[in-house]
Structures are given as structure tokens and as C-alpha cells.
Amino acid sequence: MENVKWFDAELKELKTKNLLRKLTCIDASKGSGILISGKEYIDFSSNDYLDLSRHPEIIKTAFKALKEYGFGSGASRLLSGTYLPHIKLEERIAKFKKTGAALIFNTGYAANSGIIPAVTGADAIIFSDALNHASIVDGIRLSKAKVRIYRHRDADHLETLLKKSRTDKSVKRRLIVTDTVFSMDGDIAPLNDIVSLSRKYGATLMIDDAHATGVIGRNGKGGLEHFGIKDEGVVQMGTFSKAFGCFGAYVAGSADLINLLTNKARSFMYSTSLPPAFASAAAKAIDIVEFKSEHIRKRLWKNRQRLYQGLRSLGYDTLASETPVIPVLVGDTKSALAISKYLFKEKIFAPAIRPPTVPEGKSRMRFSVTSAHTDEDIDRVLGKLRKLKN
């Protein structure tokens, strides 16, 4: 068949470029350890920053909800797919984020690809950071809005583009969208400057707090708390699948925003809802993050500093990392794969990050630190990387 030949040609091209990926099956996981084909590895790829995915209170809450509501929800939220745990979770998110309301999505990808088209359109212009997540990029593509890409974390360039957009009479709406913590670089968006610009130019600001919530901010509430920003007009998207150790995503904002998204966000409207047990587990995770996670976060940041300082002392380029996401820039794809394979042989799981996830020539190792890592875990990876320098 002709399409089979086409598939084969595409796969061969990916392999030639060192971009062919394969799935790695995890047999089991606990803390910083994972089992692959019966062998134990130290995991430096997980976004389970606070090690909550196996927290006994979350598991107990999920199990109780599972017995009460069953597993699948059966329909989309606008049909028969809205259960009490969904409503309670949305109320809990709004309280946690200090917003008027909130709405659950099934994944962060579904949230971004649904929110952005719903709040923009052909009469809008979107200003997007050059290193925003792929889900933001795809949401923009679906929006039919004009798009302007500003240089990574460059507020001056953003203002130049905003100012220039004033001359375009066809533009009725402006949206600025940025990750808070950039998932491949580990740096933080200058939200103070961006909020000021959004106010100055009458633009709506949307932040992707996926890698920020639970990690930064005095109480783990994410980007706005980290910068001490109080602005109810900011659209706050985030996930339950990282620091919360659960699954799903959300958007928090004004009641009007949530009403609009309920009626216009296609990824919300036309998806079977998140299982009720997932929603109950996520609500419990928020309680833990808000009231019981200070010591866990301290350990997370202690671990982050140990690995970051160790990598820097060895002369590795960690870019502008400020968070538990610590990249080690390698450059070419082949070399990044070689390092990943070397670490795998040494029972350290850290897959190489390659295009299109990162730009050409920017392949890297991405070390994701969690509170579960021990000093021995961190020292082991540093020791193996030291050997590569010798």
C-alpha cells in the first residue's frame, strides 16, 4: 500500500536524524526509583516534584471515590458527565488560586488547545514567548488569530510588539501567553513586567502554571504568588499531573471567563469528563500542597541546589535554570543520545531531549529533581557525569 511506503520513509528519515523515539515501559515506581525490565534505576525524568503520586491520603481518597462513583464518568460535562467531585474540585481550585471560579480539563494539552481559541479569534492578536510549550503553540494555531512571537523572557521586545499592534485597526483583542516555569529550560517568566505590560496595553494575560504550581510561591500557589501579584484578570492554567501527583488540568479566573470557556472551549465541551475519582484525588492533593507541603518543598529545593551546584562545578551549561528543572545543554542530537545511553547503562534514567521539543542545535539532558531524591541519588549522577568530563 502506498501509505505504508510513506510511513516507512518518514520513519527512516527520523532514524537518520536521530529523532526516532521509542516508549520505555516502567514496571513499577516508588520515590526516586523505577523498575525497567526488572532492573532498578534512579529516575531523573519525572515531574512528580513533591512525590505525591503515592501519597497515602490521596490514594485513600481516590479509592473511596472509586467505590462511590465507579471509574468512568460516561459523558462530557455538558451531558451527564458532571459529578459532585468535579464541582468540589473546581471550587477548591478557585479558593487555592484566589479567583472567582475554575474549570477542569482532562489534560494540560487539552486546556491550552481549548482556552486560547475560545478567548481569541480572527480579530485578535496573540503575543507568545518563543519557548512556550507545544500545547500553547497548537492552541494558537487553532485560534485563527494573528500571532507575534517575542524573544524568550524579553519584556522589552514584547512591549515593542504590543506598541506596534496599536496601528492595526483590525485588532480588537490582545492576548499575552507565557509559561511561568519553562519546562525544558527551567527558568521563570518575568511576570511582574508582563503583568504591567498587559495593563498598559489592555491585553489579557494567560499563564501556564503547570511546572510552577506546588513548586514556587511561598505556599506553592505558583507564579502570581511567587511574584506577589494580585490581578484577578490573569487567566491561570495549570495541571494536577506534576507537583500534585495526580492527573488532569484546570483554568482559574473570573466567573465570566469560566462561563465563556464552558460554552466555547471545544476540548472541554466534546471530551468525556475526568473520572470522578481523579477529581477527588486532586482536591485532596491541593489540601496537602497548601497545608502540609512546606517541609516537602524545602527538601525539593535543597535537592535542586545540590544537583545544580554540582553540575555547575563540573562545568556543565545549565542555561538559566532557576527551578527543579535543570537542563544540561549538549548541542547536537547524537551526543545527547550518547550521554543518555551512558547514564542508562549506569542505572540512571534521563532521556535526551531533542527537536522538535527543543530548537535545532539545542539538544540536552533534562534533569527533573524531586523531593524523593536522596543525596546519594544526586551524588551518583554527578559522579557519572564527572567521568564524562575526564
Q: Read off the pLDDT of residues 33-48 as tens digits, 9 standing for 90 and up.
A: 999 999 999 999 999 9
Q: Of the residues 135, 183, 271, 321, which is catalytic? A: 183
Q: Of the residues 55, 97, 133, 211, which is catalytic? A: 211
DSSP single-letter state for residue 273: P
Residues 33 and 73 in one domain: no
Say yes or no to pLDDT of 272 above 90: yes
Residues 44 and 146 in one domain: no
**Residue 232 confidence (pLDDT):** 84
**Residue 389 confidence (pLDDT):** 79
Considering the domain boundaries, does residue 88 fall inside one? yes
Residue 24 structural domain: 19-52+294-389
Q: Each residue of 319-364: pLDDT tens digit?
A: 999 999 999 999 999 999 999 999 999 999 999 999 999 999 999 9
Let me know if 152 is a catalytic residue.
no
CATH code at 366?
A: 3.90.1150.10
**Residue 6 confidence (pLDDT):** 84
Q: What is the mean pLDDT of residues 136-159?
A: 97
* Beta-carbon contacts of residue 218 (< 8 Å; ≥ 6 apart): 225, 226
Let me know if 157 is a catalytic residue.
no
Q: What is the mean pLDDT of residues 371-383?
A: 98
Average pLDDT, the chain: 96
Q: Of the residues 146, 242, 362, 373, which is catalytic? A: 242
3 confidence band (pLDDT: 50, 70, 90): low
Residues 152 and 27 in one domain: no
Distance of alpha carbon 76 from alpha carbon 271, whole angstroms = 5
Q: Each residue of 73-102: pLDDT tens digit?
A: 999 999 999 999 999 999 999 999 999 999
At 247, give phi and psi (nearest 5°). -155, 145
Residues 225 and 128 in one domain: yes
Radius of gyration of the CA atoms of the chain, in A: 21
**Residue 213 confidence (pLDDT):** 97
Q: Each residue of 185-230: pLDDT tens digit?
A: 999 999 999 999 999 999 999 999 999 999 999 999 999 999 999 9
Residues 97 and 160 in one domain: yes
122 confidence band (pLDDT: 50, 70, 90): very high
Domains contained in the chain, number: 2
CB atoms closer than 10 angstroms to residue 1: 6
Considering the domain boundaries, does residue 26 fall inside one? yes
Let me know if 37 is a catalytic residue.
no
Residues 129 and 266 in one domain: yes
**% residues pLDDT > 90 (the chain):** 94
Residues 310 and 227 in one domain: no
CATH code at 143?
A: 3.40.640.10
Residues 188 and 250 in one domain: yes
Residues 48 and 61 in one domain: no
